[in-house]
Structure formats: structure tokens, C-alpha cells
Amino acid sequence: MALKRKERFFCQQGLQLLPFTLCRLVCSERHTFITLYTEINGQTVAGFPDISAVTTLDGQQIDYYDSEIKKLIPKQDWMKEFASEDRFKEYTEFRERVQQTNKINIRFIMERFNQSHGVHVYQRMYGCDWDDETGESRGFDQHGYDGQDFIFLDMKEFRYVTPVLQGIITMQKWNNDREQLELLKQYYEYECVEWLKYFLTSRKAGLERRVSLLQWSSSSPVVCHATGFYPSAVTITWLKNGEDHDEDMDLGELLPNEDGTFQKTSILNVPQDDWKKHQYVCVVEHETGTIRKILREDEIKSNNICVTLGLSNHTGYEGANANQILSVYETHANSSCLRCVTVCDLVFPFVNISKENGL
């Protein structure tokens, strides 16, 4: 379906937003692809956009647009190639047209609620999720106004439903537009999932996997730190002289990174004399390949560590339990820096979307 044709059902109106913070379940294999529009009517803080649009993949922002900058901006490094293509320009122009449509739509909603002034918020959210193991997918198409649900698309019956009297006229109008509903059905059952898969592939291709051996001091345990992995199924084991070694080690929990990838650590609690005498190897296994790091003194990064890792006292570090490591390894010139990050991501509010042909 061409962009112009799709535009008819995406340039819609009214939606309600319920913001919340969600600690992402790192074990989940269900992926989400969401676009959120927010329209604010009335006097706001200077420089604050009247209209903004955000697209997220698995809760991570991948692009942004607002009425002040009037430009669609990629928010992930792996999105830059897509941003250089002509279709990215098309979608920028699409956001601009939606901006004009939303200005009209929010006024219609205000009239339905007998409102003539004040600050009011209309939001819409549309998108889909997909399970990469079962292949199951679901679409969502919702609208909200001033913190209340306005109208949403029932994906089982494929008809619009409203919980408020002010939405009945819109509900009846949209449900009578069978052609429009067929276009929506096509998008949510097929095209949305294809876009989701496309961006998952792009993200995977742009990942930079890293495995590092870290140590606070010569008398401290050695940490094998793996980061930049996606999907989340990554395992870390140790070999001693070519044989599996599952003693004297603490395995950290799987944690999310800010870019949607994952990290994991394994701490080897053996004296320096022992790992110098025997050959220890950290083995990181992932569907994208296996990385092996031989434990040698010249492989260990131990200088210029910015923040102490949060580990239990028996490992030689002060702080939390080894299973609560919240570290991200970064390279600054020739030094290494460990910094703590929060596990929870601010998930963009789930809202509801509407249509171009009016409320």
C-alpha cells in the first residue's frame, strides 16, 4: 500500500495517554512497534511543541518529530541508513500533514465536550506486536483525550468501540466506512508486522557486540563482561585448560542496555597466581556467534575505571550483590569506563489513534 493511501487512516484524531514506567522483562521475545502522536491545544510553555510524534521499537525510541523542529530525526545509530533513504523524507512529509490534521481534530473533540478554551491533550497510538517464536501478532489502534479513553479499534470484531457518549458519532461514522476498515485490517495484520521485522533486522545488523575482561586491582576477581547482544539469550561460561569450569564463579543477571540490547557478566573468583598458571577462557555464546576471551594480563582492562562495580564484599568489591550489577562498558580513548545505569526504561505512553476523514 502506497504511503498516500495509508495516510488516509493514519491521519486520524483523538487519543488518550496513560504514561507509566515499565521494567522491561528481558526474557520476553514479544516485540513491539508503536507510533505515538500527541497534540496539545492551548497555551503551553514557550518552545514546547504543540504536536510531537515518537516511534518506538521494543520500548526504545527510534525516531522523533515535533512541530517546532519540523523534521523527522533518527534516534538510534542503526537508523541512520534508513534516514538517508527517500522514504524517510516521505515519512517526514507525512508527519507534517498529520500535524495539520491533528490541529483540526482536537478542535472537533473540544466541541464534543463543550469546551472552548483551556489546555487539552489529544493522543493516538497505533502499532503492533509480534512473537518471534510463535509468529503470533496483534495490532492496536486507540485514541484518548485529556487522560480518558476516547475510541479504539476492536481487533477481533474489527469495529470501533467508544466508552464515552462524546465518541458515539465518530464510532458510527468510522464503522460505516468499510473500505477504511479493510485498509486498517491489511495494515495491522500484515504491513505493520513487516515493518517491525524490518527494523528488528536493521537493529541486529547495526549492533556492536563486545566482550571485555575487567579487574579493579590485581588482587580482585576478574569480570567477564558481555554487552551489545540481541536478542537476549546470551550465556557466559569459563574453561580451565580446555575443560568446563563451573566453580569459583558468580553469574550476573541479564540486564537491558539503553539501546535495546542486553548485557551480562560472570565473575571468576580465583587468585591471580592460579589464572596465570592455568589457561582460563571466558566463552560467550549467542545466536550471532561465539566469542572467546583468553584470560591474560594484557587482555584485562583495569585502569581508569570511573565507577566501582556493584558487587558483594566477598568478591573484593563494595556494594550490592553480584546479581545486581548495573554496569555498561564504554571505551573512552584508550581507557575503560564502567558506569551504572537504571534497569527501568520510561516507556512511551500507550494511546489511541483515529482517522483522517474527521471525527
Question: What residue spans define the domains of the chain?
Answer: 3-206+346-350, 210-325
| Residue 218 banded pLDDT, cuts 50, 70, 90 | confident
CATH number of 3-206+346-350: 3.30.500.10
* Helix, strand, coil percentages, rounded to 5, for the chain: 25, 35, 35
Q: CB–CB of 339/330 below 8 Å?
A: yes
This prediction's pTM: 0.65
Q: Are 96 and 7 in contact (CB under 8 A)?
A: no
Task: Please check whether the two domains, 3-206+346-350 and 210-325, share a CATH topology.
Answer: no
Distance, CA of 3 to CA of 280 (rounded, Å): 56
Q: What is the CATH number of domain 210-325?
A: 2.60.40.10
Which among 305, 235, 299 has a CA at the least distance from the CA of 265? 235
98-120 per-residue burial string, b: 16 or more CB within 10 A, e: under 16: bbebbeebbbbbbebeeeeeeeb
Q: What is the pLDDT of residues 32-73, one digit of tens each?
A: 999 999 999 877 777 788 899 999 998 889 999 998 888 889
What does the pLDDT read at residue 358?
Answer: 61
C-alpha 145/C-alpha 22 separation (Å) is 22
Q: How many residues does the chain have?
A: 359
How far, in Å, CA of 324 to CA of 252, rounded? 7
pLDDT tens digit string along 13-36? Answer: 333 333 333 333 334 478 999 999
